[in-house]
A and B are shown apart, each in its own frame.
Chain A
């Protein structure tokens, strides 16, 4: 049983109320930071902790904070990115729903560190029930003097707002989020200027993921050095993983970074093994936007070492044999799952969610989806496979925001690791389109 930083009290009855939350040590970091620490000291603790952004990119949070411009007379903002909408990712939703005060506490402490007097939690519009939970918790915090003017008599003021988004995946991209928060169409902005210089309402802004912000109170309470002791290498601390797919125990788990992937999949503490005792076929370890890995590569790195649940280990091998920890959405496929159908399904999502601002993403995502649809439904040609690789390459790296990469990687990696399955679909259109038809290697070739 590893250390729990975020989920220690998550199942305590009534933890969503201020009273119970405070009984379990809640808001201690606010008192400590506001009364005994300067904002810069809080930033230093976060830097020392080595906390990396939990939204997917894994950029060091303390370093991001230190980039924040601090011009005189211009407000600064902290925006919590709670627009969680990537297929397979549901950790923030569960966390906010069960423990809203933990996020609010993180928002207050982090806002203080950044010198922000107005902060926002930008939440996906569909999660209206979570928004209500957060609003209720915020009202409790205001009533207790933890938000508003002169918090706990420290002289620090903070207003916290929850803003529901319009329900577009692209609004999870930080600059599109800021556009949406300003009431505009959620299109990503060109960078530079970066939000740390010119963000919300043209003011310096930090955008952080829910989990990143919620980790700050523990860091302030226990010190950044303590946090850095948890985890492995540059992957410090704990991480929420939303595990789904063909496993016995789907759900949200808090792991110490560095747990072996094999242990995560097969131990009863976490996923509990593959559903119905079937064979593991593939894993998408960090949300649908990261490259898929076949069973052999998800359990062992290219060098033959145990693959660990950490930023470095999962990316080992680059895009040839590696993947990414991403947002920590761990999606498991058993031997009965069709990779072609799954890839088409992902492509369908990215086609639907592309904002349409830049040409390669707007046109390329639709093109890939249509070709994959053809292959899946028995109308593909052999050259379609190379066409998909080529289109994915044309999109990758050539777009304004990372959505282009997110759309290209699942397709490119699926073909890289499961090319024969695509070929089989094309060569055997009748068999491949039958319900539940799955390529099983040589056996399928013989019986077809």
Chain B
């Protein structure tokens, strides 16, 4: 076990834990953001650099500070390590700079983007971005690409986090897409406009932190905050069948894997569950999905049972509305 101090809070974690995971053990607002790191995907992390933190003391044995900011998602803790994140000005300045870089070529089309409301970059920009851009040059744009019947790639929004590439590499039987080109000309591609066609391909949509890979069966159908997320499951021969249904009224508009508070899927799901089972009768509904109160998705969603209390207490009992019992 290793004891580390993160933003002045002591936490004890197992050896080999990364700084980010140690911070997540503390939870709350001290946790560094992560755009490319994704716990279920091996080898992910270290690329976006938004999780940079300052290690002011390497360990109890070697108390020297690390000379540069380090990526918390890939740096293992050492006993006695002291880390500063929200309490260090250099870290916050670096993060502000990196958010600015990420937004250079990312279009601010949140009003029409299907990821709006559940976009990691949107949250990151809100917390660490600035109001005006200093970038005057021409921006990178691409045509939209259909990666088969279910997935659309909008490369202009891609921040090259590589998550979808790792997903295809690690959880799907074959990989037909990857990163082509170099530098800011790099792009996610399938070489000669191929199709991502396998039973787990839909998971690339879930892991995308921005709106670059979107679900064609959901695109432009609704805004996410108008839908109601419900946990549901079915007996699926291919995957666990544990999903979140995004409903409006009786209609199932979208099916996704269940995600935790860090927007990471708990279990990857198959395409049959995701794209083909769009009726409530296909599913056993477990109840409302817990969504963090801070998320825009939680607007208008009430998880807690509505209490049977009179809304207007002084009205005669004959006029009181009968509220459902729970």
B55 interface residue (CB < 8 Å to A): no
Closest to A381 in B: B136
Which of chain A's residues have a CB closer than 8 A to the CB of B52? 398
Contact B134 A362 (CB under 8 A): no
A140 interface residue (CB < 8 Å to B): no
Contact B179 A359 (CB under 8 A): no
**B184 CB contact (under 8 Å) in A190, A366, A398:** A366
A32 interface residue (CB < 8 Å to B): no
A69 interface residue (CB < 8 Å to B): no
Contact A364 B101 (CB under 8 A): yes
B160 interface residue (CB < 8 Å to A): yes
Which of chain A's residues have a CB closer than 8 A to the CB of B100? 394
Shortest CB–CB separation between residue A309 and chain B, in angstroms? Answer: 26
Contact B183 A358 (CB under 8 A): no
A215 interface residue (CB < 8 Å to B): no
With contacts A353-B183, A362-B186, A366-B183 taken as known, whether A398 is within 8 angstroms of B134 at the C-beta atoms is no
A399 interface residue (CB < 8 Å to B): yes
With contacts A360-B101, A363-B105, A394-B97 taken as known, whether A352 is within 8 angstroms of B69 at the C-beta atoms is no
A356 interface residue (CB < 8 Å to B): yes
Q: Which of B45-80 contact A (CB under 8 A)?
A: 45-50, 52, 68-69, 71, 74, 76
Contact B45 A362 (CB under 8 A): no
Q: Which of B78-110 contact A (CB under 8 A)?
A: 94, 97-98, 100-102, 104-105
Contact B183 A360 (CB under 8 A): no
Which of chain B's residues have a CB closer than 8 A to the CB of A185? 178-179
Shortest CB–CB separation between residue B315 and chain A, in angstroms? Answer: 59
- Total number of A-B contacts with CB less than 8 angstroms? 95
A365 interface residue (CB < 8 Å to B): yes
**B49 CB contact (under 8 Å) in A168, A170, A360:** A360
Which of chain B's residues have a CB closer than 8 A to the CB of A397? 68-69
Which of chain B's residues have a CB closer than 8 A to the CB of A370? 137-138
Contact A357 B47 (CB under 8 A): yes
Shortest CB–CB separation between residue A397 and chain B, in angstroms? Answer: 5
> For chain B, what secondary structure do more than half of its interface residues adopt (helix, strand, loop), or is it mixed?
loop
In angstroms, Cα B74 to Cα A354, docked, is 21
C-beta contact mask, B137-149 vs A, less than 8 Å → 1, else 0?
Answer: 1100000000000
Contact B159 A359 (CB under 8 A): yes
In angstroms, Cα B179 to Cα A358, docked, is 13
B28 interface residue (CB < 8 Å to A): no
Contact B183 A354 (CB under 8 A): yes
In angstroms, Cα B181 to Cα A242, docked, is 31
B185 interface residue (CB < 8 Å to A): yes
Which of chain B's residues have a CB closer than 8 A to the CB of A358? 46-49
Contact B74 A190 (CB under 8 A): yes
Closest to B95 in A: A398
Contact B97 A363 (CB under 8 A): no
In angstroms, Cα B128 to Cα A309, docked, is 44
**B183 CB contact (under 8 Å) in A352, A371, A374, A394:** A352
Closest to A188 in B: B46
Which of chain A's residues have a CB closer than 8 A to the CB of B46? 190, 358, 400
In angstroms, Cα B138 to Cα A371, docked, is 11
A351 interface residue (CB < 8 Å to B): yes
Shortest CB–CB separation between residue B102 and chain A, in angstroms? Answer: 5
Shortest CB–CB separation between residue B160 and chain A, in angstroms? Answer: 6
A387 interface residue (CB < 8 Å to B): yes
With contacts A387-B134, A394-B100 taken as known, whether A356 is within 8 angstroms of B160 at the C-beta atoms is yes
Contact B98 A356 (CB under 8 A): no
Which of chain B's residues have a CB closer than 8 A to the CB of A319? none
Contact B182 A353 (CB under 8 A): yes
In angstroms, Cα B250 to Cα A105, docked, is 77
Which of chain A's residues have a CB closer than 8 A to the CB of B178? 185
In angstroms, Cα B71 to Cα A400, docked, is 9
Contact A363 B94 (CB under 8 A): no
A156 interface residue (CB < 8 Å to B): no
Select the residue from B47, B184, B186 with max chain A CB neighbours within 10 A: B184
Shortest CB–CB separation between residue B136 and chain A, in angstroms? Answer: 8
Which of chain B's residues have a CB closer than 8 A to the CB of A387? 134
With contacts A190-B45, A356-B160, A359-B159 taken as known, whether A365 is within 8 angstroms of B183 at the C-beta atoms is yes
Shortest CB–CB separation between residue A378 and chain B, in angstroms? Answer: 15
Contact A356 B69 (CB under 8 A): no
With contacts A362-B160, A370-B137, A394-B101 taken as known, whether A399 is within 8 angstroms of B183 at the C-beta atoms is no
**B182 CB contact (under 8 Å) in A356, A364, A367:** A356
**A363 CB contact (under 8 Å) in B45, B102, B182:** B102
Contact A362 B69 (CB under 8 A): no
C-beta contact mask, A369-388 vs B, less than 8 Å → 1, else 0?
Answer: 01100100000000000010
Contact A355 B182 (CB under 8 A): yes
Which of chain A's residues have a CB closer than 8 A to the CB of B262? none
Contact B183 A355 (CB under 8 A): yes
B302 interface residue (CB < 8 Å to A): no
Closest to A403 in B: B183
In angstroms, Cα B52 to Cα A353, docked, is 24
In angstroms, Cα B68 to Cα A356, docked, is 20
Contact B183 A359 (CB under 8 A): no
Which of chain B's residues have a CB closer than 8 A to the CB of A367? 101, 104, 135, 137
Which of chain A's residues have a CB closer than 8 A to the CB of B69? 397-398
Shortest CB–CB separation between residue A57 and chain B, in angstroms? Answer: 14
Interface residues of A (CB under 8 A from B): 168, 170, 185, 190, 192, 351-360, 362-367, 370-371, 374, 387, 390, 393-394, 397-400
A-B contact pairs, 30 of them (CB 8 A): A168-B182, A185-B178, A190-B46, A190-B71, A352-B183, A354-B184, A355-B182, A356-B182, A356-B184, A356-B186, A357-B162, A359-B47, A359-B102, A359-B159, A360-B49, A362-B101, A362-B160, A362-B183, A363-B104, A363-B105, A365-B183, A367-B135, A370-B138, A371-B137, A394-B97, A394-B100, A397-B69, A398-B52, A398-B68, A400-B71
Supplied contacts A370-B137, A371-B137, A374-B137, 5 more A-B pairs, CB within 8 Å: A185-B178, A353-B183, A356-B183, A394-B100, A397-B69
Interface residues of B (CB under 8 A from A): 45-50, 52, 68-69, 71, 74, 76, 94, 97-98, 100-102, 104-105, 134-135, 137-138, 159-160, 162, 178-179, 181-186
Name the 4 nearest CB pairs between A and B, nearest first: A394-B97, A356-B186, A354-B183, A363-B101
